[in-house]
Amino acid sequence: MSSPDVVVVGAGIVGLAHALAAARLGLSVHVVDRSPRAVGASIRNFGMVWPIGQPIGPLRARALRSRQIWLEAAAGAGFSCQPCGSIHVAYHDDELAVLTEFAQSAGPQQATMLTAAAVQERSPGVVGEGLRGGLLSPSEAAVDPREAIAAIPAWLNKVFGVRFSWETAVTHAESGSVRLSTGATLRPRHTLVCSGDDFATLFPDVYVQADITRCKLQMMRTAPQPNGWRLGPHLAAGLTLAHYRSFEGCATLAALRARFDREHARHRRLGIHVMVSQHQSGELTIGDSHEYGRHIAPFDRAEIDELILEYLARFFRAPTPAIVERWHGIYAKLLNGHTAFVTSPCERTWAVTGLGGAGMTLSFGLAEEVVAMALSGAPFPAL
């Protein structure tokens, strides 16, 4: 087996993004994954490319670059990527105040305030009773993660010559050497370990010292909606304003969080904020929750799904609301406020994880930065 310029460990979205970034620079790339196909957090999410969740500056720029690459990958690999935008709806004065403050600071190219009537024109499932208005962002996109993560490897192989070894584990990695479960050894110039929340197989001593944990989320999906009914933009509501870093600069957020702590204590305790997306298939994806810990119980909790659906009913009604699928995902999350864990456990070897719930949003842009850094030897900035 010939040795490539770059070995990527893991074929989730982070690994695929790094494979693409390296291949576009003309490097030979070999991706290794222990499963027959990606089955982790990369296919267990909303399929939201969500720049609105990142603060304006380098992280928003990274997210917007990722969005552009998503569109390019979709065109090349033949999967759907819909530039749909997003709407955050407000039913209370404090929610409207946060959205208004955000829109004023972001500027009209980033976000626009909508009247209640304008929200309902763009989003037919939004509950009209008590609706005060909403925030429209044009930058979000929708992909079906199941479709996209399945299509990208074949495209990378066909167009860029990226080689894939499925059902193959990497048992050891060190500078210039990657040992496989098949007994083969690859000798790449660079190794990029993108193994998600697997903290035990490679470099466990690195992760023991890192300020990193796991996050479990619960999600649900409806059947395809009837007669071609469309959601419109991705949809979010008040609880989401207390979740994403992009809103943290709003002075009005403190009062909103205080009310949520009083009125939605269980939602806050379980990290619940409620969003809805729709892919080309017509299904609605609904979620989610956030439970943190290095060791997370594998059992889903009915209480969490009930709280999600209860809050959803306050602002959204689907033509066919019945839930047909339920699942959970687990991803790596940094506790120090940074958005990516990028470290070099040994020479010419980099571990990349800890994107939290923003893997679909940030991976492609992050990968370009990491690959450029790995090739140049420059330090990677923490954001």
Q: What local confidence, expressed as pLDDT, does residue 117 receive?
A: 98
Q: What local confidence, expressed as pLDDT, does residue 1 receive?
A: 62
Q: What local confidence, expressed as pLDDT, does residue 377 receive?
A: 81
Residues forming a β-bridge with 87: 136, 235
Phi, psi dihedrals of residue 289, rounded to the nearest 5°:
-130, 170
**Could you read off the pLDDT of 116-164 as tens digits, one per residue?**
999 999 999 999 999 999 999 999 999 999 999 999 999 999 999 999 9
* DSSP H or E stretch at residue 157: helix 145-160
Residue 331 CB coordination number (10 Å): 25
Regions of the chain where pLDDT drops below 50 = none
CA angle 279, 284, 285 (to 5 degrees): 90
C-alpha–C-alpha distance, residues 172 and 225, integer Å: 47
Residues forming a β-bridge with 180: 170
Instruction: From 73, 44, 34, select the one nearest 198 (Cα to Cα).
Output: 34
Q: What local confidence, expressed as pLDDT, does residue 251 receive?
A: 98
C-alpha–C-alpha distance, residues 108 and 366, integer Å: 26
Domains located in the chain, CATH noted: 1-83+140-201+339-383 (3.50.50.60), 86-138+212-334 (3.30.9.10)
**Could you read off the pLDDT of 333-344 as tens digits, one per residue?**
999 989 999 999
Contact 205, 346 (CB under 8 A): no
Amino acid at 286: I
pTM of the model: 0.96
C-alpha–C-alpha distance, residues 230 and 167, integer Å: 38
Q: CA quadruple 366, 367, 371, 374: dihedral positive or negative?
A: positive
Placement of tokens 């009083």 in the chain: 262
